[in-house]
Chains A and B, each alone.
Chain A
Amino acid sequence: MQVAAAAAPPWPSLPRGGIAFLFPLSLLALWSISARLGWLPPQILPAPSEVGSALWDLAGTGELASNTAISLLRVVEGFAAGSALGLLLGIAMGLSRTTEDYVKPLFTAFAQVPTLGWIPFLMLLVGIGEPLKILVIAKAAFVPVALNTFAGIRAVPPIYAEVGALFRFNRWQLLHRVVLPAAVPPIFTGLRYGLTHAWNALVAVELLASAEGLGYLLVWGRQMFWLDTMMGAMIVIGIVGFALDRIMAAAEQRLQSWRLA
């Protein structure tokens, strides 16, 4: 009995889902106090209530929804294209040393140029319309997905492939029965990095060349000194990015149910 008593935590434990809100709520509280006591001038850090009402107004006019939808569509399109290509290239390089020898040096050089560095060149190539945004986002997602898929496939223990060889798996069976399932965790790491990079790229490209979208809302708020709008846009970007990451995590968990079972 004493053992049981000692094992109980000395404070009431929060459900794990609740813990996630602790830190944001404390930050929000700190932010409110700071605004109330005037630690930072409101031109730099508007009060949470103002940011809230700015968001409310934006939502009321439909601007928030339309800009979010535009940004989300860009990310989804660019991420889908970039991660699909990244998966293909990662798998091809992972499975074949020859492909690796041919493609990897160029790919590495390509990956070394930061996404932002591609924007001027791409602007010359495709102008500043939608294709530019999709290309930049796709590039941002492509690199981490390809790299992690490649590394993940190379890290699949050869003992698994031997079991496949023993039962005379062909290349396709080996790929989808052994290699891909074994590489699910690193591939998903790549996809989640890719998604984060896609959001970063989106905001960057909307800052530079767009008249709509959440990134644009951000620049616009800053240019007009509507810092509450700017902060609101930042918060929405963060929340949408977080939601997308959770969706990816849920998908990964479904594929990896054996770990939890």
Chain B
Amino acid sequence: MASPEIEALTQALARLPGLGPRSARRAVLHLLKKREVALAPLLRALDAVNDKLAICSTCGNVDTTDPCSICADTRRDPRLLCVVEEVSDLWALDRSRLFPGHFHVLGGRLSALEGIRPEDLSIDKLIARVAVGGIDEVVLAMNATLEGQTTAHYLAERLETYPVRITQLAHGLPVGGELDYLDEGTLAQALRARRPVV
């Protein structure tokens, strides 16, 4: 039986997404055994993040500076703006480093049934960013769920009056996907979105 302090640490870790009681126990054991090389640096890192944690007032990203490192990065193309539902989507897109522009995090998606309304999302801020000018293209990178697609439609309609190109991520065949294994909805979507080869 572990001490109450160790037990509290285990439980805190076990509640993290992707972990569970078993992995939490293993992590705690590792931290205890490698106090100098694992526990101390982790503690310092947590402390530093906790100190400086900030939500970017421009795009809604979570970082340790405001504006966040993406908004502050002058090498990025200011004419491109990608709109995502959550910070995790931003990180997923940025991890691949394929998108050279800036981001905007909505903080969720419209849901009439859950009572999530346009004013609950960072939509006015998005419109304001576009209204200032200097943006040529807005990429709507919503999830392919009904609510995500409804949100994308909604944004497209609200942005209609501004001189920007509005695009959406394509839906269909995943890279490396075999037709055989795809569900019919995905196949049908891929067929509808087919395009000339040359």
B is a partner of A: no
